[in-house]
Structure 1
Amino acid sequence: MNISQNDIRQAWYSRRWAQIVLHGVVWITLFSLPYLLKPSPDAAHARPDPDEQRWHVHFIINAIFLTAFFYLNAEILIPRLVYKKKYWWYGVSLFLLFTVQVFFRWIFIENYITTRKFEIKPTIFFTFFTTLFFLSCSTAWRMIRDKMETDRLASEKENENLKTELSLLRSQVSPHFMFNVLNNMVALARKQSDQLEPSLIKLSSLMRYMLYEADEDTVPLDKETDYLQSYIDLQQQRFGAKVQVNVRMELPESGYEIEPMLLIPFVENAFKHGTGLIQDARINIELRAIQGVLHFSVVNKYNTEYAEIKDKTSGIGLTNVKRRLNLLYRDDYQLLINKQDGWFMVSLLLHLH
């Protein structure tokens, strides 16, 4: 998973123009149903209805009222009354709207319809269920829309939190790494080693990578391995023949991307805990990329007879990289860490992007 490429984008159906089109189609379809489902009149037995045109006008006015009621409930009544727990006022508002609709039908029939009389019970019955249907649809639409908005904001917040955490984790890697490298430089300076100057050049190359490449979300795998090799070279210059370092890196011709500075903590950990009071110290590092899967292993000897004295920075490297792997790759990696017969072994399988 690449956090920077997971920015929240509105789906097409949540855009304003799409909502207008969808609502328009729904309303046209809904209010066209009575005409589409109405049986064709038999010309031989059909009688002219003088009030038919007036009923069409009534239907149009009623459709406009119900549409307005739909949006009035969704946009005003629910957020201002229901969400604020003013349920009594909400009930009163619905009752008044219901009464207005019944009153309008009574006025219309009494003044414009000549073939039938107004009947209160059928009118109340019909108006109640019609209003209830539009009220239910309006409330459901508002609730679904609010739930989608809440989920969107929660997703944005989660992504921002992940970005912040990843930035913090990266900021922990760089100072920890630089602290160890500068210790190497001090050791070379004390020895007045001829390797100090090339080591400083290597260090400047590493710093350039950390400053200009490590801020990217991903970097080419070959750049990451070059950075890894430079670090190994610095450590070999420091320890010389005291530590046997075997490195084997095989990269495919096609390029892959990887999270920057993801592999260095494993190598750094090997040099930190695989040197010192260890007889025949040895570190084996192997990296291969086969069919989009990175195979990376670091194996080092450690002293089983001496309890390690941990400082404040101990454990930052591996804890850090585990957290970054969980955040960035989730189920796309497998990390195994074992201790056996004086060997500390790390094996990482990572699906590359």
Structure 2
Amino acid sequence: MTTVVNDTRQAWYSRKWAQVFLHAVAWITLFSLPYLLRPSPDQHRGPDPDEHFWHFHFIINAIILTLFFYLNAAVLIPKLIYRKRYLQFTGVLLLLFASQVYFKYIFVQAFISHKQFDLKPTILFTFFTQLFILACSTAWRMIRDKMNADKLASAKENENLKTELSLLRSQVSPHFMFNVLNNMVALARKQSDQLEPSLIKLSSLMRYMLYEADEDTVALEKETDYLQSYIDLQQQRFGAKVQVNVSMQLPEQGYEIEPMLLIPFVENAFKHGTGLIQDARIDIELRASHGLLQFSVRNKYNPEFTEIKDKTSGIGLTNVKRRLNLLYKDEYQLLINKKDGWFVVSLQLHLH
């Protein structure tokens, strides 16, 4: 069964240590490429006397680009891009670009005096390098923010669903109790001998509602026992006025179901299938096998009788439809038909 829970487990790549490790691997790989891909030194020309200075320049430049990556991700995007301060963002990028070009110019003048500084290649190389780092940094920040937003939205949705399910379940109990207490009043007025066994049945129903209905799921056998107790109470009330046919076949394998999910259909049948109806009859059938629950409730109704609805009319079926959508989503099929004087509800539900 689909159960609404808060998933506190994190994917390994979303953990802090994993992110630090992946970033370290990415930076080491990126800054190792120039050394891995450079051609072998020319033995005839000999070693470059300024090679150690270029190594030093490469390390400083790598540090600058790394800082630029995290500066853009941690400061520029949230402070400027998300606040639509695009002009300030462009100004900061231009300042950083000019600073890096000027740094290379100072480095060449200070350590490689015999070599003339070439401005155009420096500008092009710096521009495309910063553009690459900027694109990677922006993509990483936006993907991370999107994942965090989705995670937060999912957590909020789960909390909202849990709250809504609690409210829906709490609506079932008062509505059901309202009808059962009306039955008790009718028996008391008749001074019926069935009042005492009815009260015993009622106490068992209340025990189920208090101690079982708060669980996410209950054993299907407990739900059907609860259902049978309700039917017995109604049969004690109506007696021979209503023909009730019940068939419940349960498998040996235990299945779980949302508590108080089936009772609204039976409750609705007794509410609308009795009264000014000739030869009132209610058929209830339940079968469960191979992980599939088939549940149907049929009751006669009078098409010529227009019922005056009160404030509690329709709570049961409307409620259970909403609960089915929240809990079972695509794992159920509910059909409701009115034809030839019969009101028929058929439910197919995948059990777990």
TM-score, scaled relative to structure 2: 0.96
C-alpha separation between the residues in 2 aligned to 1:347 and 1:4? Answer: 25
CA–CA separation in structure 2 for the residues paired with 1:230 and 1:311: 26
Q: What residue identity is the alignment partner of 1:219?
A: V
1:3, 1:162 within 8 Å by CA — same for their partners in 2? no
Instruction: Name the residue aligned to 1:26.
Output: 26
Map 1:231-242; keep pairs closer than 5 Å.
231-242=230-241
Q: Alignment length, in residue pairs?
A: 352
Q: Secondary structure at the match of 2:308?
A: coil
Is 2:216 the partner of 1:246? no
Q: Which runs of 5+ in 1 are unaligned?
A: none
| Equivalent residue letter for 1:26 | A
Q: Point out where structure 2 has 5 or more consecutive residues left out of the alignment.
A: none
Tell me the residue number matched to 1:92: 91
- Measure how far apart 1:304 and its partner are: 2.4
Instruction: Classify the secondary structure of the residue corresponding to 1:337.
Output: strand
Which residue identity does 1:135 align to in structure 2?
A: L
In structure 2, what residue type is equivalent to 1:11? A
In structure 1, what is the Cα distance between the partners aligned to 2:174 and 2:45? 92
The residue aligned with 2:268 is 269
- Structure 1 match to 2:299: 300
Aligned partner letter, 2:161: L
- What is the distance in 1 between the residues matched to 2:227 and 2:17? 51
C-alpha distance in structure 1 between counterparts of 2:218 and 2:5, whole Å: 14
Partner in structure 1 of residue 315 of structure 2:
316
- The 5 A counterparts of 1:82-121 are 82-114=81-113, 116-121=115-120
SS of residue paired to 1:344: strand
Which is worse superposed, 305-314 or 28-37?
Answer: 305-314
Q: Which amino acid is 2:137 matched to?
A: S
Would the aligned equivalents of 1:3 and 1:163 in 2 still touch at CA under 8 Å?
A: no
Q: What is the match of residue 11 of structure 1?
A: 11
> What is the CA-CA distance between 1:351 and the residue it aligns to?
0.6
Deviation, structure 1 residue 295 = 0.3
Deviates more, 1:308-317 or 1:84-93: 84-93
Per-residue CA deviations over 1:261-318 (Å, capped at 9, x if unaligned) read 1100000001111111222211111111111010000111112232222111111111
Identify the residue that residue 201 of structure 2 maps to in structure 1: 202
Normalization by structure 1: what TM-score?
0.96
SS in 2 for 1:309: coil
Contact 1:8 1:156 in 2 (8 A): no
Q: Distance in 2 between matches of 1:115 and 1:285?
A: 99
Query: Secondary structure of 1:194's partner?
Result: coil
Distance, in Å, in 2 between the alignment partners of 1:340 and 1:80 is: 64
Name the residue aligned to 1:165: 164
Q: Which amino acid aligns with 1:77?
A: L
Deviation at 1:114, TM superposition (A): 4.8
Structure 2 residue aligned with 1:61: 60
2:76 aligned partner: 77
Quote the residue 1:220 is aligned against: 219
Asked if structure 2 preserves the Cα contact closer than 8 Å seen for 1:287 and 1:294, the reply is yes
Question: SS of the residue aligned with 1:164?
Answer: helix
Q: Please, which moves more after superposition, 112-121 or 225-234?
A: 112-121
How far did residue 204 of structure 1 move? Answer: 1.2
Distance of aligned partners of 1:171 and 1:190 in 2 relative to their CA distance in 1, 3 Å threshold: same
How far apart in 1 are the matches of 2:287 and 2:172? Answer: 23
Q: What's 2:38 paired with?
A: 38
Deviation at 1:10, TM superposition (A): 2.9
User: SS at 1:303's partner residue?
Assistant: coil
Answer yes or no: is the 8 Å Cα contact 1:246–1:283 preserved in 2.
yes
Aligned-pair distance for 1:115?
A: 5.2
